């Protein structure tokens, strides 16, 4: 109990889907404490936990559907979760529960200049001396209107020593012991050129941690948007096993245990325990709470070209033409803050961009898009209609005196829209209407930056914690969810401008749990150094397992000038990561892909083209993320959860379940060790088709023209046989299937297809979902979802079957109407590859290919 014996209410809920919720709050606080809203997609459906008593002083709640029990002890207060008679998780077993109750402010607050002027009340003097009612950060004084209000509790995870999650940090994928070092901090901040190997928070926060061991995966989702610290201590513990009589020690067993302590500045304790037991089950459980990845428009999976800033309309035209001149596909060109009139968002610089609609018409004629930036700070300028409207409506965040909060950002003096207010979000969404946003068109999409929020002369370059938001909540209560709300409003605005017909694309720098519902995320202001390329992999893997599949890192590094080798390697890595954008700050040298000599241009072109060839596979993976919450980019332990060797691997990863990617992240590499997991797996080089058995480390010779990519035996990867200048030019191009046989001579895969941009797949079931199966010498295409109906003229023109050990005598196709046709084929005995071409099999029809 906290000082003063203020009573607390502890609640335990069972939720459908093997999820449990644990809450602690004051029974009668002086005023309501902040509880995070809008992150959960619906009120969780609870189920009954059956109470029973097994021991005096212990309440046992049973969930018979999953054979799980809660053992709740009142004094000392602990909760133990027992699954299949094995302890999985304990709450407050180390007694670190604390809950600072809201109090009346002291009658005499000490002056910040005069330390001698203190309260005569000894207890109050102690509180004030400790800075509990006010805290200095440089020149800033944080006045805490409610006094100290922090909360915390510990969790012990039995048998676990591999923990992941709690992005965003420039750290390893596997979480480390904090020990005597700093705790992992979740506090969204604008950190230019953030440090590597650092547990301090950067742009986004997801208070969600996963623990994995050979026979179980669980998750802890700490629903709190205030500044949060997470301490981790993983250690072996000795487990004593007694004889049946309970007196003689029979044996001792060393078993790992992970102790995790969560601490937040304010709010309540509100925790969801996701009981798995598999990685896929935990991903599904988290999505039940916070939603799945929004299905992105197809163009957003192509390559994006950005810089701070493209100078004017002619610059945009020249860069766009450069891609065509050098035969490099791309889909989106981006405009940073300089495209606006004096950093006034929703405007255009009239000298640099005098005719933005004409510029967009040019880009649209190439079947490409434009993304423009829109930040949350609004220039203080009564002549700026957006500012004057928001000022009149009272839509800005307030300071603790009741006036509009003002800070410094790119436009100079700025006020900040209060996106936590539903009316502000509704109004902001309306600004994207074509009638409101002059010069915009249906190919214009949006980038939310600086939304931590960034305040240049604020404490830690962000908003003061005692600023006031809608509902009279302090900024300290909801800081980490501010950017989440801006992305929500932006995505809704783009949907509304199309009258609900078109999917939005919104990139955000700041994010929270649930941001996946609104678009994409990137890792912020990275540096053009090899270490940042290397760390992009664990950072993106962590985002992926924490519910945000659509993530990426700026190719080439935002800050600095990459050497050509680094830039090539970054393109090769980025081509196999979900969000693929080249970006650079304004004081760097230009780095469009053709500026580094023909040799490097060729290598970058090949990397980007590899991305475009695989777009059918990418799009199918994103559909899977949308409907089943499977990550697109996966650490090896997700695909191979029972192989201990995979648990710490973070220099390679799986793209879906079929492709293994090992980016090159060091200079002048001529040989690299690639780990091929799976005791009964076979892996095929994605380019040469040479195969190896799994459960081995392979030494792979490396040249600058490629990175190691392997296809997993037993998979079918759909690709395009030809490429276009952008995704829009590839709609009707034929498909090829890359069929890689497993040790049993089988393979399976799928293809998802719709119009790539609208919500017709959802509202009118306008989609195709096909499944491919190779078994007993027959490759079949059949419907994976009978609800989908979408007409496509596309054909499967080409099939490669890897792992055919002897030359077939004949190959025939048969369609649903019973017609059979002979297929001309070639067979390479050296690589054991069967090539089938000129098939003309409709992608939406049922058919079979018989290999005899």
Q: Which domains does the chain have, with CATH numbers?
A: 8-101+147-290 (2.60.40.1760), 304-624 (3.20.20.80), 697-851 (2.60.40.1180)
Question: Whose structure tokens read 């196709």?
Answer: 813
For residue 779, what are the β-bridge partners?
774, 849
500 Cβ contact list (under 8 Å, min separation 6): 759
Enter the tokens of residue 459.
């404490």
Tally of CA atoms within 13 A in the half-sphere of 116 that contains its CB? 0
Is 525 among the catalytic positions? yes
User: What is the pLDDT, as a whole number, of residue 125?
Assistant: 44
Q: How many residues does the chain have?
A: 852
Q: Give the chain's mean pLDDT.
A: 94
314 Cβ contact list (under 8 Å, min separation 6): none
As a 3-state breakdown, the chain gives helix, strand, coil percent values, each rounded to 5, of: 20, 30, 50
| Distance between CA atoms of residues 61 and 65, nearest Å | 12
**Banded model confidence at residue 239, pLDDT cuts 50, 70, 90:** low
pLDDT reading at 56 higher than 50: yes
Sign, CA torsion 775/776/782/786 = negative
- Closest by Cα among 740, 784, 773 to 620: 784
| Distance between CA atoms of residues 692 and 699, nearest Å | 12
Enter the tokens of residue 442.
């249906």
Single out the catalytic residue among 227, 265, 270, 452. 452
Contact 196, 183 (CB under 8 A): no
pLDDT reading at 251 higher than 60: no
For residue 98, what are the β-bridge partners?
152
| Distance between CA atoms of residues 768 and 718, nearest Å | 14
- Closest by Cα among 408, 416, 618, 375 to 507: 375
What does 546-609 look like in DSSP terms, one character per residue? TT--SEE--BT-SBS---HHHHHHHHHHHTTSSSEEE---TTSPP--TTSS-HHHHHHHHHHHH
Report the largest interatomic distance among the alpha carbons of the chain, rounded to a whole angstrom. 99
pLDDT in tens, 767-805: 999 999 999 999 999 999 999 999 999 999 999 999 999
523 Cβ contact list (under 8 Å, min separation 6): 168, 203, 536, 539, 540, 543, 551, 552, 553, 554
pLDDT reading at 564 higher than 60: yes
| Distance between CA atoms of residues 302 and 720, nearest Å | 14
Burial of 597 from C-beta contacts in 10 A (0-12 / 13-18 / 19+):
exposed
User: What is the pLDDT, as a whole number, of residue 277?
Assistant: 97
pLDDT in tens, 112-166: 443 333 333 444 444 444 568 888 888 899 989 889 999 999 999 999 999 999 9
Residue 316 φ/ψ, nearest 5 degrees: -60, -45
As a whole number, mean pLDDT of residues 307-318 equals 98
570 Cβ contact list (under 8 Å, min separation 6): 533, 555, 556, 557, 562
As a whole number, mean pLDDT of residues 365-375 equals 98
Burial of 135 from C-beta contacts in 10 A (0-12 / 13-18 / 19+):
middle
pLDDT in tens, 6-54: 899 999 999 999 999 999 999 999 999 999 999 999 999 999 899 987 6
**Banded model confidence at residue 254, pLDDT cuts 50, 70, 90:** confident
Question: For residues 827, 828, 829 and 834, what is the CA-based torsion angle, rounded to 10 degrees?
Answer: -50
| Distance between CA atoms of residues 271 and 175, nearest Å | 20
- Closest by Cα among 658, 615, 613 to 753: 615
Question: For residues 663, 666, 667 and 672, what is the CA-based torsion angle, rounded to 10 degrees?
Answer: -70
Cα of first residue to Cα of last residue in the chain, in angstroms, is: 75
- Closest by Cα among 695, 736, 694 to 713: 694
Provide the 8-state DSSP code for 724.
-
| Distance between CA atoms of residues 166 and 228, nearest Å | 10
pTM over 0.75: yes
Question: Where are the alpha helices (H) located in 265-384, listed in sequence order?
Answer: 279-290, 313-325, 356-365
pLDDT reading at 295 higher than 90: yes
Single out the catalytic residue among 63, 80, 349, 449. 449
| Distance between CA atoms of residues 823 and 851, nearest Å | 10
Q: How far is CA 30 from CA 10, 26, 97, 105, 147, in A?
A: 18, 9, 21, 11, 12
pLDDT in tens, 492-529: 999 999 999 999 999 999 999 999 999 999 999 999 99
Question: Whose structure tokens read 């078109």?
Answer: 502
For residue 417, what are the β-bridge partners?
396
Is 817 among the catalytic positions? no
User: What is the pLDDT, as a whole number, of residue 818?
Assistant: 79
Single out the catalytic residue among 525, 554, 652, 754. 525
Q: Is the peptide bond before 715 cis (omega within 30 degrees of 0)?
A: no
What does 96-124 look like in DSSP terms, one character per residue? --EE----PPPSSPPPSS-TT---S-HHH
In percent, how much of the chain has pLDDT > 90?
89
As a whole number, mean pLDDT of residues 218-240 equals 91
**Banded model confidence at residue 106, pLDDT cuts 50, 70, 90:** confident
For residue 69, what are the β-bridge partners?
62, 82
Sign, CA torsion 599/601/604/610 = negative
pLDDT in tens, 180-206: 789 999 999 999 999 999 999 999 999
For residue 309, what are the β-bridge partners?
none
843 Cβ contact list (under 8 Å, min separation 6): 735, 751, 753, 768, 770, 781, 792, 794, 795, 796
Element (H, E) at 615: helix 615-628
pLDDT reading at 835 higher than 60: yes
pLDDT in tens, 726-738: 999 999 999 999 9
Residue 314 φ/ψ, nearest 5 degrees: -65, -40
| Distance between CA atoms of residues 474 and 471, nearest Å | 9
Is 452 among the catalytic positions? yes
As a whole number, mean pLDDT of residues 630-651 equals 98
| Distance between CA atoms of residues 468 and 399, nearest Å | 6
Enter the tokens of residue 595.
């500026």
pLDDT reading at 335 higher than 90: yes
Question: Where are the alpha helices (H) located in 472-529, listed in sequence order?
Answer: 475-478, 482-497
The pairing of strands 671-676 and 696-701 is antiparallel
| Distance between CA atoms of residues 702 and 714, nearest Å | 26
Q: Which pairs from 814-823 meet CB under 8 Å and 24+ separation?
A: 814/847, 814/848, 814/850, 815/841, 815/845, 815/846, 815/847, 816/845, 816/846, 816/847, 823/849
As a whole number, mean pLDDT of residues 300-312 equals 98
Query: What burial letters (b/e) apply to 750-763, b meaning 16+ CB within 10 Å?
Result: bbbbbbbbbbebee
Q: 422-430 vs 482-497: helix axis angle to the nearest 10?
A: 40
User: What is the pLDDT, as a whole number, of residue 107?
Assistant: 63
User: What is the pLDDT, as a whole number, of residue 57?
Assistant: 81
Enter the tokens of residue 492.
């809704």
User: What is the pLDDT, as a whole number, of residue 240?
Assistant: 57
Provide the 8-state DSSP code for 644.
G
Query: What burial letters (b/e) apply to 302-312, b meaning 16+ CB within 10 Å?
Result: bbbbbbbbbeb
Residue 849 φ/ψ, nearest 5 degrees: -120, 120
- Going through 584-701 in order, the beta strands assigned E by DSSP cover 633-634, 653-655, 659-661, 671-676, 682-685, 691-693, 696-701
As a whole number, mean pLDDT of residues 609-613 equals 98
| Distance between CA atoms of residues 99 and 2, nearest Å | 6
User: What is the pLDDT, as a whole number, of residue 730?
Assistant: 98
| Distance between CA atoms of residues 617 and 578, nearest Å | 12
């Amino acid at each position: 109990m906290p000082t003063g014996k203020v009573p607390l209410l502890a609640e335990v809920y069972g939720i459908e889907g093997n999820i449990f919720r644990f809450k602690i709050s004051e029974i009668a606080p002086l005023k309501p404490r902040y509880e995070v809203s809008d992150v959960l997609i619906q009120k969780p459906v609870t189920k009954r936990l059956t109470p029973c008593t097994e021991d005096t002083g212990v309440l046992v709640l049973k969930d018979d559907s999953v054979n799980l029990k809660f053992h709740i002890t009142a004094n000392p207060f602990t909760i133990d979760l027992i699954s299949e008679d094995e302890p999985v998780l304990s709450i407050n077993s180390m007694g670190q529960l604390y809950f600072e109750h809201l109090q009346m402010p002291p009658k005499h607050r000490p002056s910040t200049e005069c330390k001698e002027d203190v309260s005569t009340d000894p207890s109050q003097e102690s509180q004030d001396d400790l800075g509990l009612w006010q805290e200095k950060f440089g020149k800033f004084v944080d006045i805490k209107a409610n006094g100290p209000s922090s909360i915390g509790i510990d969790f012990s995870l039995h048998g676990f020593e591999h923990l992941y999650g709690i992005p965003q940090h420039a750290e390893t994928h596997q979480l480390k012991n904090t020990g005597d070092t700093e705790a992992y901090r979740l506090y969204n901040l604008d950190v230019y050129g953030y440090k590597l190997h650092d547990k301090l928070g950067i742009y986004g926060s997801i208070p969600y941690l996963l623990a994995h061991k050979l026979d179980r995966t669980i998750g802890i989702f700490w629903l709190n948007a205030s500044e949060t610290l997470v301490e981790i201590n993983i250690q072996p513990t000795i487990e004593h096993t007694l004889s049946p009589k309970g007196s003689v020690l029979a044996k001792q067993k060393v078993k790992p245990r992970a102790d995790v302590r969560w601490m937040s500045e304010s709010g309540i304790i509100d925790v969801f325990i996701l009981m798995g037991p598999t990685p896929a089950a935990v991903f599904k459980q988290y999505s039940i709470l916070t939603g799945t990845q929004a299905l992105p428009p197809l163009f957003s999976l192509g390559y994006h070209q950005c810089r701070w800033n493209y100078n004017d309309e002619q610059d945009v035209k020249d860069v766009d033409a450069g891609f065509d001149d050098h035969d490099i596909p791309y889909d989106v060109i981006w405009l940073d803050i300089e495209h606006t009139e004096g950093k006034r968002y929703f405007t255009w610089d009239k000298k640099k961009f005098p005719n933005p609609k004409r510029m967009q018409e040019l880009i649209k004629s190439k079947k490409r898009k434009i993304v423009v930036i829109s930040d949350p700070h609004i220039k203080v300028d009564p002549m700026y209609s957006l500012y004057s409207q928001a000022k009149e409506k009272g839509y800005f965040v307030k300071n603790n005196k009741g006036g509009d909060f003002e800070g410094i950002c790119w436009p100079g003096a700025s006020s900040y829209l209060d996106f936590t207010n539903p009316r502000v979000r509704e109004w902001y969404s309306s600004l994207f209407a074509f009638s409101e946003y002059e010069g915009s068109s249906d190919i214009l999409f949006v980038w939310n930056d600086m939304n931590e929020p960034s305040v240049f002369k604020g404490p830690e370059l962000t908003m003061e914690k005692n600023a006031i938001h809608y509902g009279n909540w302090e900024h300290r209560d909801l800081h980490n969810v501010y950017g989440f709300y801006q992305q929500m409003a932006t995505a809704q605005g783009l949907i509304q401008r199309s009258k609900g017909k078109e999917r939005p694309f919104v990139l955000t720098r700041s994010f929270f749990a649930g941001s996946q519902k609104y678009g994409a995320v990137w890792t912020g202001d990275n540096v053009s150094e090899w270490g940042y390329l290397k760390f992009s992999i664990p950072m993106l893997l962590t985002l992926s397992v924490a519910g945000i599949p659509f993530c990426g890192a700026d190719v080439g590094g935002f800050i600095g000038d990459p050497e050509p080798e680094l830039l090539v390697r970054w393109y090769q890595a980025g081509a196999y990561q979900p969000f693929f954008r080249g970006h650079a700050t304004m004081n760097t040298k230009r780095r469009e892909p053709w500026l580094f000599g023909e040799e490097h241009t060729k290598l970058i072109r090949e990397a980007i083209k590899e991305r475009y060839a695989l777009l059918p596979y990418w799009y199918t993976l994103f559909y899977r993320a949308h409907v089943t919450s499977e990550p697109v980019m996966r650490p090896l332990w997700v695909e191979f959860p029972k192989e201990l060797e995979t648990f710490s691997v973070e220099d390679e990863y799986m793209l879906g379940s079929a492709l293994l990617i090992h980016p090159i992240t060091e200079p002048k590499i001529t040989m690299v060790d690639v780990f091929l997991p799976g005791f009964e797996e076979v892996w095929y080089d994605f380019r040469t088709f040479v195969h190896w058995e799994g459960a081995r480390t392979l030494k792979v010779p490396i040249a600058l023209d490629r990175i190691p990519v392997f296809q997993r035996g037993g998979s079918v990867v759909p690709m395009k046989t030809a490429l276009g200048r952008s995704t829009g030019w590839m709609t009707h191009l034929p498909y090829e299937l890359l069929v890689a046989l497993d040790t049993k001579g089988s393979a399976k895969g799928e293809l998802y297809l719709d119009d790539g941009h609208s919500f017709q797949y959802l509202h009118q079931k306008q989609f195709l979902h096909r499944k491919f199966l190779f078994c007993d010498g027959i490759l079949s295409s059949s419907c994976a979802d009978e609800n989908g109906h979408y007409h496509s003229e596309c054909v499967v023109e080409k099939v490669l079957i890897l792992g055919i050990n002897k030359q077939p005598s004949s190959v025939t196709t048969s369609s649903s109407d019973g017609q059979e046709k002979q297929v001309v084929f070639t067979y390479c005995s050296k690589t054991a590859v069967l090539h089938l071409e000129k098939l003309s099999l409709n992608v939406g029809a049922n058919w079979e290919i018989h290999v005899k």
